[in-house]
Amino acid sequence: MHKGISVSPGVVVGVAFRVDSVFGTGEPQTLAGPGLIPAEIERFEHAITTSASELETFVFKVAQQLGPSEAEIFKTHLQIVNDHAMQAKVRSLIETKNYTALSALQIVLQGYAASFARIEQDYLRERLADLRDVFSRIGSHLTVQAPVATALGHDPRDGEEPVILVATEILPSQAMSLGSLPIAGIVTEAGGGTSHAAILARSRGIPAVSGVTGITTEVRSGDTIIVDGREGLVLVRPTNDELSSYRKLQREFFDLKDRLVLNRDQPAVSADGAQIELLANINNVADAQAAVKVGASGVGLFRTEYLFLSHTDVPDEEEQYQHYRQIIEDAPNRAVTIRTLDLGGDKTVAYLGRRDEANPFMGWRSIRLSFEHPRMFERQIRAILRAGRHGKVSMLFPMITTLEELRHVNRLVEESRRNLRREGVPFGDDVKTGVMIEVPAAAICIDAILRETDFISIGSNDLIQYLVAADRDNPKVAHLCEPLSPAIFRVLKMVLDACQRTGTPVTVCGEMAGQPRSVLTLFGLGLRRFSMSPAFVPTIKALLGAVTIAQAERFAHQVLQLKTSEEIRAYLTGRLHEVSSLLEVFDSA
């Protein structure tokens, strides 16, 4: 039994599928016989040609859209791909050692890594990262990514055990590609409650546990494992008694989920009739369609960065416009809040260049990155304004820290409106603009912010991380990123009170909005707009339908008197049991 961090509630018993890197792990692989060497060399040369062609396209398109300096990284990568000495080393290993092209490529990379490690100049040592990028690109063309079910030798939909993904971590690009696979649970070594693995799991309503040290070395693909997302537990190769017990819990969990979805056509109201808006956080069209199925009233947060992460180069204005339009047309009531690009930190793309930062979450990311690429930012603003014709659309700016930044983005929006009008390009006249409150400085200066914005959206994930000065994806300090803490609720009360005084619409779109104990308190503090992963909408609708305003206000008042996270957690656990003991399974321990 392993203990990790609960990131998505529920229980599942399934078959493990271990996700390795492009090069995998273990000993180099050899060909079945020398007769296969010519074909393997041909495969390698095809991977080189394909990689070079991709990079040539990137050099041209990035230089055109972002500028020549941003294209330099791809020129460097192209030089590495076309390096004859590197290619000769790989061919030699295939011919003399009978290695597969992928193993030969890995061995050559290891040799370069050893050489670079001896170099004293930081600049040259940092070029190793470029080598890794290029070798991974070539390697990806040598690797055929089979679907999870095929890799396991069975289809889990044919009455077999469901698939549980086991990985060191899940990168944003992987999260995109894994979205359509039949995954029933996720376990990762790295990451916390707001990692990409967690977001993927919650968007699909599947149990997940992160921060499980050493799990990838113990688990083999095909092992039976249990994921308990309520308690943050993972059981590897469980006993028959454990299997029997957890299968019963699994049936109860999924039966309850199925029953709750039946409330999708019912209005979202409290036990005493207060109107509530339950919105969805989405990454793509499939999520928008899922939001309709569970009865969300709109999309409270559309994360546009996943469009950029799934592209090998910069999406142009027309492509963005068409993508946003499709999202709007598929969303509940065609109501969508579109967040501008929130890249950086753990979400990076090669075509914007690499910056090695000691603390990337505190550095060049989000709106700061957009300011540094004004042409790209302008294209996104224009695409959102154009898409605004097709529904009730709002534009949300992430990580605003100062009033000066807010004024700058407001000027950019007005300038884009003037340009579209002058060019005769149709756009939405009534697109509202809002600020995401996730930096403590903005929360503290909320009164000034409210004078110059149409609405507020509270991003509790980053707000918590910055308030407690702890990386939420670092298992060593992730325990500090506790939403049920006195500091968090006091800051949230300050922001909510300010919005109520001015009549400014306010939504919480962080993970707190889908956590029952947090929701009880937020409702008591006056919040009436919650945006969450689509899978949580039925749960929160059932919860708020069982509580009155007076009850919730009493809960919130008591929470604000408590001094520690432990006291708050214990108190709200009791209140959740009092309101609806059935829904306790949907809140992590």
Active site residue 509: yes
Q: Indicate if the alpha-carbon torsion angle 203, 209, 212, 218 is positive or negative.
A: negative
The Cα 165–Cα 185 span in angstroms is: 6
Q: Which of 2, 77, 196, 373 is catalytic?
A: 196
Active site residue 390: no
Which residues have a Cβ under 8 Å from the Cβ of 488 and sit 6 or more positions away? 460, 463, 464, 467, 482
Count of Cβ atoms closer than 10 Å to residue 429 Cβ: 10
β-sheet with 233-236: strand ranges across:
2-3, 233-236, 224-228, 11-19, 163-167, 183-188, 208-210, 5-8
The Cα 32–Cα 519 span in angstroms is: 59
3-state DSSP of 180-197:
CCCEEEEEECCCCCCCHH
The token pair at 533 is 């992963």
Q: Is the separation of the CB atoms in 344 and 91 below 8 Å?
A: no
- Reported in sequence order, the residue ranges of 362-473 that DSSP labels E, i.e. its strands, are 392-397, 432-437, 455-458
Q: What residues does 456 pair with on adjacent strands?
A: 435, 506
Amino acid in the structure at residue 487: A
Q: Which of 2, 141, 481, 509 is catalytic?
A: 509
The token pair at 203 is 């968007």
The Cα 422–Cα 437 span in angstroms is: 33
The Cα 578–Cα 546 span in angstroms is: 10
Catalogue the active-site residues: 196, 509
